[in-house]
Structure 1
Amino acid sequence: MSDLKANILVVDDEERIRRLLRMYLEKEGYIIEEAEDGEIALQKASVSDFDLILLDIMLPGMDGIEVCAKLRQVKATPVIMLTAKGEEANRVQGFEVGADDYVVKPFSPREVIYRVKAILRRSSVTAYLTKDQGISNNIVFPHLVIEHDAHRVTAGGHEIALTPKEYELLHYLAVSPDKVFSREDLLKDVWNYEFFGDLRTVDTHVKRLREKLNKVSPEAAAMITTVWGVGYKLEVPK
């Protein structure tokens, strides 16, 4: 999917911020809808297929964490959280319920656009891996199968529901089994970040990925190994 003409839902209780984001995003060619609270956001996101949601954490009533958690029960729409400085615990909580990224307020419009484009490029990232590496569309290991065309992951015979970014991370590691990637490598190649990345983003997604795999196949979860002081790799059982 091209990131042009993507449909984006902007969720913030401050009209000034919604207007600012709409102005910059529409300038990039995106189609924007707005929501001023969590309930409206969840309703819109549940009935419409947005390509991306910019979601403020601090909302009246249902906050952004709850919105993301409930949305993840029915959809894997990419979510970028908007958080205030000093809300590190909330950012971690956001990742735990399935957010793909976050932007800290006060933010620069340039950073928001950069992160939006990085998330929306997710399909082309995995597409170039398949084409350039010359691999088949299915990646098969003893306890783990990745069907790339369908973006389907099966572990221990059970299908796993992954967010787009969790899928990308797993696929990227699986394309080069037993190769160690640093957190910086993963941020650059999976998240397309060179300037604004937070290394904890990688750690949190690895943790979530392992937890999901472990529920149905501890053997598959154990394949994602930590190389201390370096990064991560997908280790094939000998």
Structure 2
Amino acid sequence: MTSLLFVEDDAVIRTSVGLALERYGYRVSTAADGLDGLEAARAGDHDLLLIDVMLPGLDGISVCRRIRETSQVPILMMSARGDGLDVVAGLEGGADDYVVKPVDLPVLVARIRSLLRRATFARPATGQAPAGEVLTFGELSVDTAALEVRRAGQRVELAPTELRLLLEFAAHPGIVLERATLLRSVWDYGWDGDSRVVDLCVQRLRRKIGADRIETVRGFGYKLCGT
């Protein structure tokens, strides 16, 4: 059974959403503040973390950043404001995606399922590279079978969404991929969602594989430089 950790200080939301997710077949454990959530995340073996932004003790963004220091577990942030700076900060801190409160349960479950698929996939959703091929882009190498990324020979640790994004770029080297295309193929959105998730994930990926490796094509999207 898939295990979720839900960190939320509002007891009503924590209980109602937790019970609803259990009805969908998830095993849900909960924490009521940031410090307890961080401790539970570090101690437990969870498949996904659902973390509210506004938490007592330690805010959700700080929890996310601390978890990302040692773990690449999928993280879905919850925010009371869909266009606030907290969303941007959460994504910059390492979250893979976010949902807006009050939570629409079908949307939440769809985002959870999408994020779990990204964490367990064996190939990118589109433009699959041949099995076992090691793709090389300058000092960057991508093993599409072992799902390993190396930069100048050193292993690069990527979160599930970052890895899937890189594999999508690697399957189309030198080709401009629009944000809407990436939202559908990487985030598995059936609609053109918030493009900020693409932009911020690209920023995180650049910090890990080299800022000059992914080029911005203004007004269109991004492309992976092949040399």
Which TM-score tier does this pair reach, normalised by the shorter chain? Answer: over 0.9
Aligned twin of 1:217? none
1:14 and 1:148 map into 2 onto residues whose CA distance is 42
Q: 2:187 aligns with which of 182, 187, 191?
A: 191
1:14 and 2:4 matched: no
1:223 and 2:213 matched: yes
Q: 2:30 aligns with which of 31, 34, 53?
A: 34
Name structure 1 gaps, 5 residues minimum. 215-220
1:87–1:233 distance in 2 versus 1, CA, 3 Å: closer
1:166 and 2:162 matched: yes
Percent identity of equivalent pairs: 39
Code of the residue aligned with 1:226 in structure 2: it is T
Q: Which moved more, 1:130-139 or 1:78-87?
A: 130-139
Aligned twin of 1:51? 47
> What's the CA shift for 1:85?
1.7
Q: 2:196 aligns with which of 185, 195, 200?
A: 200
Q: TM-score, normalised by structure 1?
A: 0.88
1:22 and 1:44 map into 2 onto residues whose CA distance is 16
> What's the CA shift for 1:132?
4.9
> What's the CA shift for 1:172?
1.1
1:99 and 1:62 map into 2 onto residues whose CA distance is 16
Q: Which moved more, 1:167-176 or 1:129-138?
A: 129-138
Superposed CA RMSD in Å reads 2.0
Aligned twin of 1:234? 224
Q: 1:154 aligns with which of 150, 155, 158?
A: 150
What secondary structure does 1:34 align onto?
Answer: strand
Larger helix share, 1 or 2: 1
1:103–1:131 distance in 2 versus 1, CA, 3 Å: closer
| Aligned 8 A contact 1:129 1:175 in 2 | no
| Aligned 8 A contact 2:140 2:209 in 1 | no
| Aligned 8 A contact 1:126 1:168 in 2 | no
Name structure 2 gaps, 5 residues minimum. none
Deviations 1:92-138 (A, max 9, x none): 11111101111111121111011101101114554255995434343
Q: Aligned residue pairs: how many? A: 227
Query: Superposition pairs for residues 114-153 of structure 1, below 5 Å?
Result: 114-123=110-119, 125-127=121-123, 129=125, 132-153=128-149
1:174–1:78 distance in 2 versus 1, CA, 3 Å: same
1:112 and 2:108 matched: yes
